[in-house]
Structure 1
Amino acid sequence: MEMIFISLFNYILKPVSKCAFPVNGNGRKSICWFWLTDSNYYIELGNTRLFELSPELTAKYKLESSFDDYYYIRQLEDLFDILPVISNPIPEDLYAYINNEEKYKKLMNSFNGWIDKKEVYSDEENNIYDNITSLLSCGYLDTGYLSPKCNCSFYHVGDQMIIHYDFEDFDDESNPVWTAKSGKFTLLYKDFLIEIEDLLDRFFFDMKKQISNAAQELKDENFYETFVQRDKNIKPGVDYLFEEQENRKTFFYSVLKSLNSNSCKKINWDITRKNIEFIISVFEKA
């Protein structure tokens, strides 16, 4: 497998023959575009690699790769879920509430203290709840499908992208799970967007080759018969692989276009600021 190195997002698509496909009752593989993204992947932040398992765990389980093993489209979708939100720069005074673990927990405690006093929420209080929750989860990359602890958040502050990460976790034998610990990594926001565009260019180029190989190697398998179709207009069969490739490519590049043109939905930070001041004041009076 060819390794791909860039400063941030890295993946290694598995050969079609090694991709994990579900098998139906007749013993045949059920093929869809999603399963063809089976990969090992990681995020490289200078000398730190996120989603890289420790040498201890790699040896313990005799893994072929130390990088996280999953369908890469999952991380790509999760990343693009948060990109429109983090396109909005957080004012520095609001970022100051969450720029380290101690401050984040302090704000969370104030928020939880306010919640604990509520049994019924008015419409206005529901809006406060949603607004503060959005700030606390702002830029958080979903890693819920991975059981070991691994937190990664992206914060756009001024002209910078600041990536917070916490991968300090241990197994039941006290072995570190990941090579990464906890910390921050900073780059210019404009360079971050360049990385995103480069990621899409590489990924869809590689996936085009991947589905061409699959169409040749898996002619006798089932295509899209047992996988829930996201688009009912797409018909099962080999041709759907190419059709879904183009549909997904169009979607992701449309999001990138909105990022580059700064046309994503804007966040009213004044409301967030007012709500934070309110819950802190309530908590401190308690």
Structure 2
Amino acid sequence: MLFNFAMVPLEEVQPWGKPGRLSLSWFGLTDSQYWVQAGTSVLLEYSDVARRLGSSRYCDYQVARLYEDVMALLPYILEPVPADLIQYISGDRSCVLERATAWHAANSERDDDLYWEIIDGSSTWIGNRSLHFSYLSPSANILMWSDESLVHIEWDNRAKLVDGVCAWSAECGSHSLPRSEFEEEVRSFHKRLMDEMSVRVSRVVAGGLPADVHVDVPGLLREHEQRKLLPASAFELPSPHTDWQAVRKALLAIDCQGSADRWR
């Protein structure tokens, strides 16, 4: 399986808030360890050094966060990246990043609309294909994007250090799988999470939490029923689609090291 998780036993889930005002929500109840099995590499698995320093084996957080991020990015992950732009998102991007850094330095005093159009055009499309781990310290750098036939998962965590050593067991690499297989993995992730949460919600409703932990039970039941739905639109790109011509113009401005004035 691509997306994997192991939920913390219900009795070990830590409630939010202070004594006398403890509570849990649907999101909080998904407390887990989770990881991504990308071929032979295990993403979000801590390195031996990090584990010796006290980290768990895998990322320790609410798995709903990974699920929500994947679902939010899904339409963009499945929107094929044009062949001429793949070099900007795939592989060793150090030269691309160096040019971007130099362009930012040359235009650091700009604050006009055109400047921000270049910033937006050159970066937003990549952000829409990047899983976000700002809630972790150190974070992880994982991209998911597709061409016409494959979905590509790429990671570069060489700069994500703990005690001077990479925090993650998967430092740098890539894995690809057919688009249809990736979609099935997403559906499987959805079903497994919702099935486990159905059991967990039932236990909460039956009084499975300490009496001093408040749960809005009617709200919890409503939210779970809503989350169980996986509409076909989850796999469809919202309108408007990525403006690839605007992306090309922005990247050209950066590649040429021209000023924002010369973009058009």
TM-score range, shorter chain: 0.7 to 0.9
Worse-superposed segment, 48-57 or 118-127: 118-127
| Structure 2 CA distance for aligned equivalents of residues 75 and 186 of structure 1 | 19
| Structure 2 CA distance for aligned equivalents of residues 36 and 276 of structure 1 | 43
Instruction: After TM superposition, give the deviation of residue 267 of structure 1 in Å.
Output: 1.2
Opposite residue 156 of structure 1, the aligned amino acid is S
Instruction: After TM superposition, give the deviation of residue 219 of structure 1 in Å.
Output: 6.5
> Structure 1 length normalisation: TM-score?
0.80
3-state SS of 1:107 partner: helix
Pick from 7, 10, 15: which aligns with 2:4? 10
Cα distance change on mapping 1:24 and 1:105 into 2, 3 Å: same
| Structure 1 CA distance for aligned equivalents of residues 153 and 36 of structure 2 | 11
> Structure 2 length normalisation: TM-score?
0.86
Worse-superposed segment, 28-37 or 71-80: 28-37
| Structure 1 CA distance for aligned equivalents of residues 106 and 162 of structure 2 | 37
Cα distance change on mapping 1:142 and 1:261 into 2, 3 Å: closer
Instruction: After TM superposition, give the deviation of residue 121 of structure 1 in Å.
Output: 3.9
RMSD (Å) for aligned C-alpha atoms:
2.5
Instruction: After TM superposition, give the deviation of residue 93 of structure 1 in Å.
Output: 1.0
Structure 1 stretches of 4+ with a deviation exceeding 6 A read none
3-state SS of 1:20 partner: coil
Instruction: After TM superposition, give the deviation of residue 11 of structure 1 in Å.
Output: 0.5
3-state SS of 1:96 partner: helix
Whether the 8 Å CA contact 1:58–1:66 is kept in 2: the answer is: yes
Instruction: After TM superposition, give the deviation of residue 259 of structure 1 in Å.
Output: 4.7
Whether the 8 Å CA contact 2:77–2:144 is kept in 1: the answer is: yes
| Structure 2 CA distance for aligned equivalents of residues 30 and 259 of structure 1 | 30
Opposite residue 95 of structure 2, the aligned amino acid is K
Structure 2 equivalent of residue 246 of structure 1: 225
Q: Which structure is higher in RCO with an 8 Å CA cutoff and minimum separation 6? A: 2
| Structure 1 CA distance for aligned equivalents of residues 114 and 17 of structure 2 | 50
Cα distance change on mapping 1:32 and 1:126 into 2, 3 Å: same
Overall identity of the aligned pairs, in %? 26
Structure 1 equivalent of residue 254 of structure 2: 279
Opposite residue 247 of structure 2, the aligned amino acid is T
Whether the 8 Å CA contact 1:114–1:279 is kept in 2: the answer is: yes
3-state SS of 1:266 partner: coil
| Structure 2 CA distance for aligned equivalents of residues 55 and 180 of structure 1 | 11
- 1:158-203 per-residue CA deviation (whole Å, 9 max, x = no partner) reads 211111112334432x555322121011111121111101111111
| Structure 1 CA distance for aligned equivalents of residues 161 and 120 of structure 2 | 33
| Structure 2 CA distance for aligned equivalents of residues 262 and 113 of structure 1 | 33
Whether the 8 Å CA contact 1:113–1:283 is kept in 2: the answer is: no
Whether the 8 Å CA contact 1:138–1:155 is kept in 2: the answer is: no
Structure 2 equivalent of residue 233 of structure 1: none
Whether the 8 Å CA contact 2:121–2:251 is kept in 1: the answer is: no
Structure 1 equivalent of residue 68 of structure 2: 77
Opposite residue 45 of structure 1, the aligned amino acid is A
| Structure 1 CA distance for aligned equivalents of residues 115 and 24 of structure 2 | 47
Structure 2 equivalent of residue 108 of structure 1: 97
User: Unaligned regions of 5+ residues in structure 1, if any?
Assistant: 1-5, 225-236
| Structure 2 CA distance for aligned equivalents of residues 145 and 282 of structure 1 | 34
